[in-house]
Amino acid sequence: MDISSKTPKIIVFDLDRTLWPFQVDKDTTNPFRRTEKNTVEDASGVASRIEDIMGAYQLLELFNLNSFFTYKEIYPTSKILHFKELHRKTGFPYETMVFFDDDERNIKAVQQLGVQTFQVSKDGIDKKFVLQSLNLDSSH
């Protein structure tokens, strides 16, 4: 799919090392909390294929990200199964879906379905990268 000629119907983001720059079930300890300085910390004071599903939902809430997502597929399994479930729920063809992830294995797997993919750095994603990827950034 040529993103510049067609607006995607659904944009999908991986969580670990994409929306946030750490891996919930390996780099942090649940529970999480928002500090007085408006940062998010785990139980040990560290701000920094999810198995800690509740931790992921908690972080979405603490980072004020819940309102940006209509569909949430958070469980440890193949990304192909996530996309099949999104396709079933939305009826959108795979070719109208866009996926951002840091893991090359997930990128390659989802591409087989016809999804447009973008690999992000291990430090996570930012607004500029998303806009440039979707050809919506007028500065390039």
Q: Determine which one of 2, 14, 25, 123 is catalytic.
A: 14
- Asked if 99 and 112 touch (Cβ cutoff 8 Å), the reply is no
Give the C-alpha separation, 103 to 67, whole Å: 25
Q: Please say if 14 is a catalytic residue.
A: yes
Q: Please say if 2 is a catalytic residue.
A: no
Single out the residue of 17, 19, 14, 11 nearest to residue 116, CA to CA: 11
- Asked if 82 and 73 touch (Cβ cutoff 8 Å), the reply is yes
At 33, give phi and psi (nearest 5°): -150, 155
CA Rg value for the chain: 16
Q: Determine which one of 16, 42, 52, 102 is catalytic.
A: 16
Active site residues: 14, 16
